[in-house]
Structure 1
Amino acid sequence: MYRFVFFIAGIALSLHATRSYAADPPQASRPNVLIIYGDDQGSIDMGCFGVDDLKTPNMDRLASQGLRLTKMYSAAPVCSASRVGLLTGRYPARAGQPGNGDLRADEITIAETFAKAGYHTGHVGKWHLGRETNTNPSGQGFQSWFGHLEGCIDNYSHFFFWAGPNRHDLWDNGKEIQRGGEYFPRLMVDRCKSFIDQKGKEPWLLYWAFNAPHYPYQGSAKWLAHYKDLPTPRREYCAFTSTMDEYIGEVLDYLDEQGLAENTIVIYQPDHGHSTETRAFGGGGNAGPYRGAKFSLFEGGIRVPSVVRYPGRLPAGETRTQFVTACDWFPTLCQWCDVALPKNQLDGVSIVDVLQDNADAPREQFYWQMGSGNGAQWAVRDQQWKLIGNPRDTTLPQSKQIAGGKLKDPLYLVDLQADPSEQTNVADQHPEIVKRLQTIKDQLQDGF
């Protein structure tokens, strides 16, 4: 997160904020949806993904009761753009935000789509997609919301954690509230429970954007003590991740207590890879065999641990190794919940057959972009081939990166089947593949 873009939209766009969501007739027994979106989490940082120094019993519980997705990709290696991909089902570049800034007011979100279909929609936690009335959660289809609007806050004072202006940033349905000294994860859990309680007969969709393990690393004393023998910053990172997991478990328990677990789809995944920024003490996360981290289009920046549970529809304790992306959740949830898709172009595809029946991936091609202009970092994947333009390797701590991790090679081609760690650039050996993938990129960009 290098900059935050704030703008006041024109009158035409502001109409979006007051758009009414005329609900389609409610349908019986449609499932509830809980999307839990972590923040800056390493590619293998979940117990069920093989990491041995981090405890995540509740994420693992979701995996044991549902599916583990080992080839899940975020839509971007940076916070705002990743959320754009999740909430719109579109490439962030197509949706107009490939970096850290506002979501365009005229984009159609999953919240707007589900609200129109009779769902009660809520957001809890980090937003990072705009502060104005047509870009805050209310303007993007969330009927109830609580949390912070910018990229990160101190979890006790709730002030914006960045290089000024360090303004207070805690909101309840558009009204600034003062809860100084209260731990933000605790406040989020209470609000999640309150949202679940306030629902009527209508089904609900809750987007819980947990601001962990994003810096500042502020895990509980219990977990800091548990990890006392780990070195810094792994200790602080693990403590915050396990704290998040514990609070997730409290909400999962609440679904059980309320008799809602059997009819609630629960998804967990982070927005992208772990941070190696100075504010994160240069790291803490674990990408396993993968190169890169946050801000990088190498695998460690975009390949994320993900689990999904849907009792009665999904088998328990299985693994899916097919290529899937965060953009796919929008059409997938629409299919599961019998919600009509919006008429705009989606880049996500339904993965219901992959999840339920272990079918082949519906596509093996995807496009990523971070930033704008000629210097933007971009990548195209097609089958086992992946081409990165203006590549950046953020594996090392930020203080040790040369030129921000930018590589000398303007194009970097990898055969992921032969080289999943992306150590060897084979662009010179396969010019025809480079040309084909560049053509795919150019054709996509022409349509944005």
Structure 2
Amino acid sequence: MKAIMVMFDTLNRHMLSPYGGPDWIHTPNFKRLAERTAVFDNSYVGSMPCMPARRELHTGRHNFLHRSWGPLEPFDDSAIELMGDAGVYTHLVTDHQHYWEDGGGTYHTRYNSFELIRGQEGDPWKGEVRTPDGPLLDHLHPIAKKMVRQDRINRKYIREQEQFPQARTFAGGLEFIESNYLEDNWYLQIETFDPHEPFYSPAEFKERYSHDYEGTLADWPIYGPVTEEPEDIRHMRFEYAALLSMCDHYLGQVLDTMDRLDLWQDTLLIVNTDHGFLLGEHDQWAKCVQPFYNEVAHTPLFIWDPRTGIQNERRQSLVQMIDLPATLLDFFDIERPKDMQGRSLRRTIEADVPIREVALFGIHGGHINVTDKRYVYMRAAVTTDNQPLYDYTLMPTHMRSRFAPEELKQLELAEPFTFTKQIKPLRIPAQTRGNLHDFATLLFDLIHDPEQATPLHDPEVEARLVELMIELMQDNDAPKEQYERLGLGVPSLQ
């Protein structure tokens, strides 16, 4: 048996044709994919954003209640590593540059082999001492400004379509398939950073969305409220659509290869993403600095399981990223670790058998959210300083840096959690997400208000969802201060 995962970053469900995307966006291969797979209509994020989601992909449990962005922990069970230990050859090819930053350095080494493609976003790839031409957006945060500078340099080396990191990533994945399709027991993860911002794509894809535009917004929106004009939003959506069509093109190459080599007979195919992106909806850009509206939280998911033969069917069950490692282990007949909370989707694919009543999702220090498919409840902090909040980790690194000595001076040993294998983690006061204090607790009815335009006031529904939220937090052995931060009033249960 073989398995292939094609993982995109920032893939917007509502812009794909199988999910009712607009006619002007060209995604024929996603439509073709939907005809060959089970299409999940209620897939939701878990831990946000990139590397927290990838920790879930390995461990099958949520990251965001205990820790912010960071590496795999020494006590984590990696499904990828477990597959390798059981004799399944695992290979990763990716242009997702966060894997070689401080906060992502333990993920790609869990695979038997890996290929890292350089050049995406602000990847410190090509070196130039001289400041590149063009405005460097002095109003940006210094880290963002540094990324913009590096991106300007990188693009000098990314001109032709075959030079783009996405193209090279898929070429590497297809090379692996061509070299190994006659072998058995392997897992291939083709993971591209696209269509993550900046929305840089080859001319042949931009031409499909040619439009008149005289503004100054390029292809990299600044996270937060929209301050630009409607024509700027329209322009950015065209830039995203061009990159999305590029993703569709290379997805088609994977489908072509599976057709030509008849891999559908014995190969599991999962096509997924970590989250979506706001392109002006709710008057917001991007993610993480605002609540996780469905444009971000409600994700596309397609699965072909050759054991079931289910294709061109929709599935309504509530699923999340934490279910994918369990599904992979089940496919290769490997026992699921006791700390893995996700469930195999085999029976859900077969007959839409539900695996959960409600899904929990969020970001460390932000709203904690639950959905039962009908409602989405977003619980905000009640404390004005968003405290207390701690990181529990044995790997004290942020996204692009180690924890500073000033942070580590405040650390103490915490008692073990249920999933830390009797190991006491470090307990370190965490950086807060103060910008989210602009947003209160929110409740939305997805049937009567699918665009989440008008918050609902319904104490009975809220009380029911709070009870479910507390149950899930307890199941995840959430730290007691998370209840205090949210005003849930149950720290004594910890």
**TM above 0.5, one fold?**
yes
For 1:224, the equivalent position in structure 2 comes to 206
2:360 paired with 1:378: no
For 2:195, the equivalent position in structure 1 comes to 213
1:255 pairs, out of 255, 258, 263, with 258
Is residue 378–residue 390 contact of structure 1 (8 Å, CA) maintained in 2? yes
For 2:79, the equivalent position in structure 1 comes to 110
3-state SS, counterpart of residue 426 of structure 1: coil
Is residue 36–residue 267 contact of structure 1 (8 Å, CA) maintained in 2? yes
2:240 paired with 1:269: no
2:442 paired with 1:412: yes
For 1:335, the equivalent position in structure 2 comes to 330
Equivalent residues in 2 for 1:47-86 (5 A)?
47-51=17-21, 52-86=23-57
2:20 paired with 1:39: no
For 1:186, the equivalent position in structure 2 comes to 167
For 1:203, the equivalent position in structure 2 comes to 185
Equivalent residues in 2 for 1:308-327 (5 A)?
308-311=303-306, 313-327=308-322
Is residue 77–residue 273 contact of structure 1 (8 Å, CA) maintained in 2? no
3-state SS, counterpart of residue 369 of structure 2: strand
2:341 paired with 1:347: yes
3-state SS, counterpart of residue 232 of structure 1: helix
Is residue 66–residue 307 contact of structure 1 (8 Å, CA) maintained in 2? yes
- Offset, 1:275: 4.3
- Offset, 1:81: 1.6
**Length, aligned pairs only:** 379
TM-score by length of 2: 0.67
- Offset, 1:351: 2.0
Gaps in structure 2 of 5+ consecutive residues: 129-142, 152-156, 213-233, 382-433, 480-494
Rg larger in structure: 2
3-state SS, counterpart of residue 128 of structure 1: helix
For 1:236, the equivalent position in structure 2 comes to 239
Query: Matched residues, percent identical?
Result: 22
Gaps in structure 1 of 5+ consecutive residues: 1-29, 170-178, 277-282, 392-402
1:119 pairs, out of 74, 88, 91, with 88
Using the alignment, how far apart are the partners of 1:383 and 1:294 within structure 2? 21
Amino acid at match of 2:272: Q
For 1:436, the equivalent position in structure 2 comes to 467
CA-to-partner distance for each residue in 1:383-422, whole Å, 9 max, x for gaps?
644431228xxxxxxxxxxx8565452x323444554443
3-state SS, counterpart of residue 363 of structure 1: coil
Higher helix content, 1 or 2: 2
Q: Residues 210, 167 of structure 1: CA spacing in aligned structure 2 closer, same or farther, 3 A cutoff?
A: same
Q: Residues 102, 408 of structure 1: CA spacing in aligned structure 2 closer, same or farther, 3 A cutoff?
A: same
Is residue 124–residue 145 contact of structure 1 (8 Å, CA) maintained in 2? yes
Is residue 117–residue 165 contact of structure 2 (8 Å, CA) maintained in 1? no
Using the alignment, how far apart are the partners of 1:138 and 1:307 within structure 2? 23
2:456 pairs, out of 420, 425, 428, with 425
- Offset, 1:73: 0.9
Amino acid at match of 1:73: Y
Using the alignment, how far apart are the partners of 2:193 and 2:337 within structure 1? 29
Is residue 75–residue 86 contact of structure 1 (8 Å, CA) maintained in 2? no
Is residue 42–residue 373 contact of structure 2 (8 Å, CA) maintained in 1? no
- Offset, 1:72: 0.9
- Offset, 1:166: 7.8
For 1:394, the equivalent position in structure 2 comes to none
